[in-house]
Amino acid sequence: MSNNLLYKQPKSWALGILLLALCLFPQVFSGYQTSLLAKFLVFGIFALSLDLIWGYSGIVNFGHAIFFGAGAYAMGIALKYLPFAGATYLAVIFAILVPMIIAILLGYFLFYGRVGGVFFGVVTLALTGVVQSIIIVSSDLTGGMNGLFDFPPPKLGIPGILEFDLYSPTVAYYTVLVSAIGCYLLAKYIVNSDFGRVIQAIREDEDRVEFLGYNVPFMKVVIFAIACGMAGFSGALYVPLGFISPDLLSIERSAVVLVWVAVGGRGTLVGAFVGTLVVSYLQTFLSDQFVVLWLLFIGMLAILVILIWPSGIVGFARTHPFKSLILFKRS
Amino acid sequence: MEAIVIQTLNGVSLASILVLTSLGLAVIFGMLGVVNLAHGELFMLGAYAVATMNMFGLSPWWGLLVAPIVVGAIGMLMERTIIRWLYHRPLDTLLATWGVSIVLRQVVRLIYGTGHMSSTSLMVGSTTVFGYEYPIYRLFLIGITVVIVLVTFLLYFKTNFGLKIRLVISNRSMARALGINTSKTDMWAFGIASALGGLAGAIMSPLVTIDPEMGLTFLAKGFIVVIVGGIGSLYGVIAGGVVIGGGEAAISFLLRPVVAQIIIVLLAIVIIRVRPKGITGG
């Protein structure tokens, strides 16, 4: 795991070019390409939220898609039952709060019960099936297996004066881009704050942090709730770009997000976006013809990355000689 | 009265199924400290072994014999190629075995297709228990679970190999100093645990639909049993199996099975909060 202090920040001119390219993307490419990139950036936020707990606090979550799905469902349900102007903002807040509350409840029972490390991962895995069953069983609210679709489209802007329809690819893209940058800066602020340092200390040695007088379970619940709220937010952003169905909470989605983060590099934050974009674009090239082979590839990628390349793309780029060609340079 | 007897038998057979599926998990965790997320897929492979025998027109009993051997061999291969490099990185074994589980599932899909397979029952018909009709296969299931658990306990507590395993668990470096090839015992322990998983799948095959996804449900339940019962102890598996199996049978008698499964997982989380070391732990 890398320590941020050891590395120089990305060069500012390179960062500027990257931002400019991202801003101009919808002007150059088609609507389809724009909404595809928007979708992948949403997944990037989702992966970022996993990196926050997996890479920084050592909590491995095999059911992270629960919180993504909970956010999307909360957004859809809120839009359906709050049919007035400006409801989108309330729905987004709702989409962040619901996963947060689930996370706090789960965290209270598990972290205070000292279920840490590997067994936390196992319980979250078991929980995925349960939450999926709950959504299918309560079909009056969630639409069951058919998914949730009959809600008014989410709108941004000032209600009644200036409204943007989020279903337009360009509006969705810029919303997602701003959100992605915002979430990244928030995550960066958190891991570099005092709180973030305690979290990283917990990852290294939980007992020692406890002896230093910190309330470890409480800290874990807090970071878990923040990460799950962020996952819920990404789920809400996904609503105008995709389709709300129980598939959003599938075990495959939870597995793929782990692979995104592992490939990009755990504990690097920016690696979450890198891994997501690399693997997702690879998927669009490969998976249309071979769904079975694609998942096989994902499984093998998980094994190989863990065995021979545990630091991921960003970790590798930061520690190897051709580093000067990349955005990241070691001091 | 009939309902009580039948429900009790259902509870016991459900508990047997859970004990059977969780035993291998507990052995691997107790011995190697590894949580094997591919265990459900080993279980699935055991069921496929029986279905394959069935496809070739052979008796399903052959499947019961072949399953532990083949699955045990796959487990040993897995340990030699992947797991043994990761013993000092427990969180990473989780992801690596997760990758293995996806690979196994997709390989089975490629070979057998996505559809269901079926196996003919090993024995059909029912018999009378305390004056009530009950399927004979479920009684066989209870019986064979008792036999397998006894054999595992004998292996663990009475044989030379069991002695080595217990020594490695209690003090790995001392075991190595005494001339025990710990790498070899690791491999065999993993193989035996995998074989247990495969055997469980083979035994369960007539009662469930056999498809590539079947392992996931059993994996999740198996882990809940292990955690609720007490991590890493063989007695814990039995205690956990009885509590979760009995509880599920009792609740599904009153409510829908789906609701019962939801309640059981939530209940397990509450139990963990109250007794973090499991029912058998201090």
DSSP line for A132-178: HHHHHH-HHHH-GGG-B--SPPPEEEETTTEEEETTSHHHHHHHHHH
Whether residue A308 is contained in a domain is answered as yes
Note down the domain range covering A235: 4-325
Mutate to test the interface with B, among A57, A206, A252, A303 (most CBs of B within 10 A): A303
Per CB-CB distance under 8 Å, the chain B contacts of A206 are none
What is the mean pLDDT of the segment spanning B140-156?
Answer: 88
> Is A292 in Cβ contact with B96 (below 8 Å)?
no
Residue A331 lies in a domain: no
Query: What residues of B are in contact with residue A302 (Cβ under 8 Å)?
Result: 95-96, 98-99, 102
| A60/B95 CB distance under 8 A | yes
> How confident is residue B18, by pLDDT bands cut at 50, 70 and 90?
confident
CB-based contact, A109 to chain B, within 8 Å: yes
Q: Are the C-beta atoms of A270 and A9 separated by less than 8 Å?
A: no
Most confident range, picked from A326-330, B9-13, B144-148: B144-148
B91:A112 CB<8 A: no
Distance of CA A51 to the CA centre of its chain: 8
CATH of the domain at A281: 1.10.3470
* A163–chain B nearest CA distance, Å: 42
Look at residue A1 and tell me whether its pLDDT is greater than 50: no
Contacts of A137 in chain B (CB under 8 A): 258-259, 262
CB of A292 within 8 Å of a chain B CB? The answer is yes
Q: In this structure, is residue A178 part of a structural domain?
A: yes
**Interface membership of A307 toward B (CB under 8 Å):** yes
Percent of chain B with pLDDT over 90: 11
Cβ atoms B93, B72 nearer than 8 A: no
Give the chain A residue whose CA is nearest to the CA of B226.
A119
A298–B270 CB contact, under 8 Å: no
CB within 8 Å: A125 and B262: no
The reported pLDDT for the residue numbered A101 is 95
- One-letter amino acid for residue A96 of the chain: I
Q: Give the pLDDT band of residue A331 (cuts 50, 70, 90).
A: very low
- Decide if A186 touches B, using CB distance below 8 A: no
Which chain A residue's Cα is nearest to B221? A126
The pLDDT score that the predictor gives to residue B281 is 67
Q: Determine the pLDDT at residue A330.
A: 46
Is ipTM > 0.85 here? Answer: no
Band (pLDDT 50/70/90 cuts) for residue A95 is very high
Contact A134 B224 (CB under 8 A): no
Question: Hunting for tokens 């292990």 — which residue is that?
Answer: B226
Q: List all residues 6 or more positions away from A94 whose beta carbon is below 8 Å from its beta carbon.
A: A74, A75, A78
Residue A48 vs residue B6, higher pLDDT? A48
List of residues 6+ apart from B165 with CB closer than 8 A: B31, B156, B185, B189
Contact B227 A119 (CB under 8 A): yes
How many domains are contained in chain A? 1
pLDDT, one tens digit per residue, over B57-111 is 788 788 888 999 999 999 999 999 988 888 888 778 888 888 999 899 989 988 8
Return the pLDDT at A194.
92
What mean pLDDT is predicted for residues A217-230? 94
Mean pLDDT, rounded, for B200-213: 85
Q: Please tell me which of the candidates A58, A123, A133 has its beta carbon nearest to residue B262.
A: A133
Q: With beta carbons less than 8 A apart as the criterion, state whether A118 and A54 touch.
A: no
Diameter over CA atoms, chain B: 60
Structure tokens at A110: 């598990």
Summarised one tens digit per residue, pLDDT across range B231-276 is 767 788 888 888 888 888 888 778 877 788 788 888 888 887 777 7
- Spatial separation of the C-alpha atoms in residues B119 and B53, rounded to whole Å: 9
Q: Which of B102, B213, B244 to mutate to test the interface with A (most CBs of A within 10 A)?
A: B102
Residue B82 · residue B100 · CB < 8 Å: yes
Interface of B with A in 37-66 (CB under 8 A): 37
Structure-derived torsion over alpha carbons of residues B43, B92, A52, A61, reported in degrees to the nearest 10:
20
In this prediction the pTM is: 0.84
**Is there a domain that residue A142 lies in?**
yes
Nearest CA in chain A to B99: A299
Q: Average pLDDT of A244-260? A: 86
* Angle of CA points A58, A63, A68, to nearest 5°: 105
Q: Which two tokens stand for residue A119?
A: 């067994």
**Would you tell me which residues 192-221 of chain B have a C-beta closer than 8 angstroms to some C-beta of chain A?**
216-217, 219-221
A138 within a domain of the structure (yes/no): yes
What is the Cα–Cα distance from B144 to B151, expressed in whole angstroms?
Answer: 10
Nearest CA in chain A to B227: A119
Q: Which residue has the higher pLDDT, B281 or B226?
A: B226
pLDDT of residue B175: 86
pLDDT at B156 over 50: yes
Dump pLDDT digits (tens) for A174-194.
889 999 999 999 999 999 999
**What is the structure's pLDDT at A65?**
93
What is the structure's pLDDT at A2?
Answer: 45
* Residue A64 pLDDT class (50, 70, 90 cuts): very high
pLDDT value at A303 more than 80: yes
More confident residue, A230 or A111: A230
Distance, in Å, from the CA atom of B176 to the CA atom of A54, rounded to the nearest integer, reads 34
Residues 6+ apart with CB under 8 A from B150: none
- CB count, 10 Å around CB of B66? 18
pLDDT of A102 strictly over 90? yes
Chain B interface, best mutation among A296, A301, A305, A309, by max B CB count within 10 A: A296
Q: Which is more confidently placed, A221 or A255?
A: A221
Residues 6+ apart with CB under 8 A from B194: B24, B39, B42, B71, B72, B74, B75, B76, B78
Q: Is residue A330 part of a domain?
A: no
CA distance A209 to chain B (A): 19
Instruction: Assess A286–B contact: CB distance below 8 Å, yes or no.
Output: no
Cβ–Cβ of A126/B223 closer than 8 Å? yes
Summarised one tens digit per residue, pLDDT across range A10-48 is 567 778 888 888 888 888 888 788 888 999 999 999 999
Tell me the percentage of chain A whose pLDDT exceeds 90: 31
Interface test with A, best of B83, B98, B265 (most A CBs within 10 A): B98
User: A117 and chain B: CB distance < 8 Å anywhere?
Assistant: yes
Residue B232 has a pLDDT of 66
- For chain A positions 207-226, those within 8 Å of chain B (CB to CB) are none
* Average pLDDT of the residues in A263-284: 88
Q: What pLDDT does A27 receive?
A: 81
Which alpha helices (DSSP H) does chain B contain, by range? 2-32, 39-55, 60-81, 90-112, 136-158, 160-170, 172-177, 182-204, 214-229, 234-254, 257-274
C-beta atoms of A115 and B227 within 8 A: yes
